[in-house]
Chains A and B, each alone.
Chain A
Amino acid sequence: MSAKINFIIDGQQCQSEEGKFLVDAAKDNGVYIPTLCNYEGLKPKGSCRICTVKINGRFTTACTSPVHDGMNIENNTAELNEMRKQIIELLFVSGNHFCPACEKSGDCELQALAYRYKMMAPRFPFAFPQKEIDASHPKIIKEQNRCILCKRCIRGIKDEDGKSYFAYQYRGKDSLVVVDRKLAAEMTMEKAQEAMDICPVGSIIVREKGWEIPIGERKYDNAPIGSDIENK
């Protein structure tokens, strides 16, 4: 993992260590590749597909692909950006995202990406699905209307035996991320906060607490998503 290798992103010469995941390698070189399901320190899962780039002409997710010497990567192209925008639109229309009323507004990665990719009205019809809010746990609320099924919580929030608090249910369009009742009953406040922070959107909310930072002063209100990498 230590040998330096060379690769190219959109014509720009880049350097990294062999085998590093492409999103991270790109970041080291000041190139932003958008991500949603990826989260630092977690095993990548490749489920949102938004980080898709072309490596040597083939579509691949940058969060799951190790970088190798001589790779030629397309990232910031019209074709890819259009598909990324479509994915953001898909995630908006397939849930119920009413940003002004959401505790995560301004900290939400989906919202921030929608701004970055200039989403106005989605081209797809809104599905307005019937989803339930699961408020039956002592520390957290699971807001199903906002879940984008990225599986970060499933991968990241575990108890000391390695058991997951969150789990994926059903399949396809019926997919749902649910909370384990028994584990959630013993969830600590720190775990609850960790879960809320790991969620890219407002689908995991810590109870009895909110609006500590006013809208307008939150993470992506201060600096657009990706700008920290690009302006380094």
Chain B
Amino acid sequence: MKTSISDIIDRYGNDPSRLMDILLDIQEEIGYIPEEINQKIADQLGISKAELVETISFYHFFSNKPLGKYHVYLNNSVTAEMMGREKVKQTFEEEAGIKFGNVSGDGLIGLYDTSCIGMCDQEPAAIINGVIFKDLTPFRIKEMVKYMRQGMPVNEMCRQNYGDGNNSSDLVQAVVSNNIRLKGTVVWDQYSPGEGLQKAIAMKPAEVIEEIKKSNLRGRGGAGFPTGLKWEFCTKAMETERYIFCNADEGEPGTFKDRVILTELPRLVFEGMAIAAYAVGAKSGVLYIRYEYKYLRKHLENALEELRKENLLGKDIAGRKGFDFDIRIQYGAGAYVCGEESALIESAEGKRGEPRDRPPFPVDKGYKEKPTIVNNVETLAKVTKIMKKGSEWFLSLGTKESAGTKLMSISGDCRYPGVYEIEWGHSIYDILEMVGAEEVQAVQVGGPSGTLIGPNQLPRHLGYEDLGTGGALIIFHESRDLLKEVVMNYTEFFIEESCGSCSTCRNIPVLLKDKLQKILDGHGVVQDIDDLLDWSKPLKISRCGLGHTAANPIVTSIQNFRHLYEKRVLRDREFETGFNLADSVRESCEAAGRPANI
């Protein structure tokens, strides 16, 4: 062992709120987090061992067992399945001689499933020892397992050119492609670092907020909350110690545009954070980024370092006395729910990524109980451009209700999957033409938490007034089995990713899945379709958006594709598998002289 465990914990000042970093470093050092050292870690941090295990056991990428010298995390999202994941998985299992979820007897290879890794435009993809491999085929798998047996380091196993843009830079060296298909006029036009920030500091902080409000910028992370208003709320909070968080968790399956922004324009995003900091008087910021994007770490650290050198971060930024602000990078460890802003804050405080009850909202009580702004990567990138070019310009793009542009992550059955920056207002029909998609059966707008729409809804347009979205669009060809390939996969995703706090979200999706399986197996009756809708209802009273939307794949597919369900249920049979208690006891209740109101 090069570094001792206690040195690692010391490195973070024995501070339990830095537990994520501590655990990430320990796992990096030893390869896993052995149970034997839990008590030691807990004692040094002054918490109980059980509390420590709360955090460790929450995150998908933390393990208390050796993961295998080569640990393969193969993405199991819908697009991966569509692009041939099953064969890839089988080949891995055959070649390694083990099933997924296991490590080979010699400890050489571990195979694991993992939720969407943000590569839906280049599937099937996997993360092996932190390195991304994409466009996988059975042939490649055979080759790679052979290399593993020879002991080849993973980065030498890449047999593809490094990707376009900064993916090939010395600090990234990844085979990942940006696939930027359409460079829009907001994010991708000419960027000269510092211009947006210079304009901002020439104004009063309140004027900056006013300008963002005027631009009508709304959050690009999915919920669409007005950005300027969020900042204003933050300034109204009593506490003056404030924080700026950039949400780079990007866990919604089918979304990958934030990865591309952070690969190509990290400084644009960090500058947006600095502008927010100036506007609300924050001294520190955190970029919370998903574990899957670990390969971007050096690149992002370097961007921060450059900004510090140019005095766009640090002390007396851009020569303005007293404007101090700096940013640290916080990696997650595999949990979709950590993209929810309050869960993200919990995680950055070293805890389980469980959403908080609201109120209070993060703008009042966020990170360390202080007022905190959480904004999406794309939102912050746009802030910088709005400061540079003005709210008028931004308002001139898009529709009346939805100003500006949106980065769309488009994948599935189309010729040109990738990232498109388009003005709000395009119809889905336009987009399908743009990306080369034909004979389309359905489009998933906004990822699993969004809506599955059919051909009759293609005239609908993108915009908060019609189809608002975080930007994922997944296209399904006529030949796809929507219920089996899509709805089932998405429902399983929510089961896997629920934090487990709410009685509703922890239990209902499991029941829905079983019922859907029953229908897929040909045993369903009409009542089962109605049950799916009825049983979904209490999800709406869950704590966070994950629970609220966990039945969306089922509910929106019943709304828009009910015939697919009806085709599969036993229509010719009269019997119901359910049992109607009220009906059954009506007679006896009448005899007893009371209503059968059970």
Contact = CB atoms under 8 A, between A and B. Distances in A.
A140 B541 CA distance: 34
A94 B504 CA distance: 11
A44 to B, nearest CB: 7
A8 B39 CA distance: 51
Contact of B506 (A44, A45, A163, A175): A175
B580 to A, nearest CB: 10
The residue among B46, B500, B503, B504 with the most chain A CB atoms within 10 A of its own CB is B503
A48 interface: yes
B503 A87 contact: yes
Contacts of A178: 50, 53
B541 A49 contact: yes
Given A66-B359, A120-B581, A120-B598, A163 B48 contact: yes
B498 A171 contact: yes
Contacts of A45: 357, 501
Given A167-B54, A173-B506, A46 B543 contact: yes
A179 interface: yes
Nearest to B531: A123
B49 interface: yes
Interface in B486-501: 495-501
If over half of B's interface residues share one DSSP class (helix, strand or loop), that class is named, otherwise mixed; here it is helix
A166 B48 CA distance: 9
Interface residues of A, number: 50
Nearest to B514: A125
Contacts of B542: 49
B500 A149 contact: yes
B182 interface: no
The residue among A48, A50, A175, A178 with the most chain B CB atoms within 10 A of its own CB is A175
Nearest to A94: B507
B535 A124 contact: yes
A46 B357 contact: yes
B498 A163 contact: no
A180 interface: yes
B82 interface: no
A172 B496 contact: yes
Contacts of A124: 511, 535
Interface in B571-598: 578-579, 581, 598
A65 B495 contact: no
B51 A173 contact: no
Given A47-B503, A125-B514, A182-B49, A169 B54 contact: yes
Contacts of A168: 54, 352, 500
B537 interface: yes
Given A170-B500, A171-B352, A172-B500, A164 B50 contact: yes
Contacts of B422: none
B237 interface: no
Nearest to A36: B503
User: Looking at chain B, what size class is its interface with the partner chain?
Assistant: 35 or more
Contacts of B537: 82-83, 86
A50 B538 CA distance: 10
A90 B503 contact: yes
A178 B48 CA distance: 12
A182 B38 CA distance: 12
Given A48-B503, A120-B581, A171 B58 contact: yes
Contacts of A65: 359
Nearest to B497: A172
A181 B501 contact: no
Contacts of A125: 511, 514
B506 A172 contact: yes
B61 to A, nearest CB: 13
Contacts of B503: 47-50, 87, 90-91, 148-149
A174 B48 contact: no
B357 A52 contact: no
B510 interface: yes
B564 interface: no
Contacts of B508: 90
Nearest to B60: A171
A63 to B, nearest CB: 9
A165 interface: yes
B57 interface: yes
A122 B359 CA distance: 33
A169 B57 contact: yes
B380 to A, nearest CB: 29
A52 B53 CA distance: 30
Given A149-B506, A178-B50, A87 B500 contact: no
A10 to B, nearest CB: 18
B540 A164 contact: no
B536 to A, nearest CB: 10
A87 B538 CA distance: 8
B502 interface: yes
A47 B501 contact: yes
A183 interface: yes
A121 interface: yes
A99 B357 CA distance: 32
Interface in A86-108: 86-87, 90-91, 93-94
A164 B48 contact: yes
A56 B242 CA distance: 30
Contacts of B47: 163
B251 to A, nearest CB: 14
B49 A180 contact: yes
Given A171-B499, A172-B497, A161 B46 contact: yes
Contacts of A173: 495, 498, 500, 506-507, 510
A167 B500 contact: no
Nearest to A127: B510
A183 B58 CA distance: 22
Nearest to A169: B57
Given A49-B538, A167-B54, A90 B504 contact: yes
B540 A180 contact: no
A52 B541 contact: yes
Interface string A182-201: 11000000000000000000
A61 interface: yes
Interface in B506-538: 506-508, 510-511, 514, 531, 535, 537-538
A178 B376 CA distance: 36
B504 A169 contact: no
A173 B159 CA distance: 40
B357 to A, nearest CB: 4
B283 to A, nearest CB: 28
A27 B440 CA distance: 56
A209 interface: no
Contacts of B359: 65-66
Nearest to A168: B54
Contacts of A180: 48-51
A195 B50 CA distance: 16
A115 interface: no
Given A52-B541, A86-B538, A170-B57, 10 more contacts: A47-B502, A48-B503, A90-B538, A121-B581, A161-B46, A171-B57, A172-B506, A173-B495, A180-B51, A181-B49
Cβ-closest 6 pairs across A and B: A167-B50, A180-B50, A175-B500, A172-B498, A64-B357, A163-B48
Interface of B: 39, 46-51, 53-54, 57-58, 335, 352, 357, 359, 495-504, 506-508, 510-511, 514, 531, 535, 537-538, 540-543, 578-579, 581, 598
Interface of A: 44-50, 52, 59, 61, 64-66, 82-83, 86-87, 90-91, 93-94, 118, 120-121, 123-125, 127, 148-149, 161, 163-175, 178-183
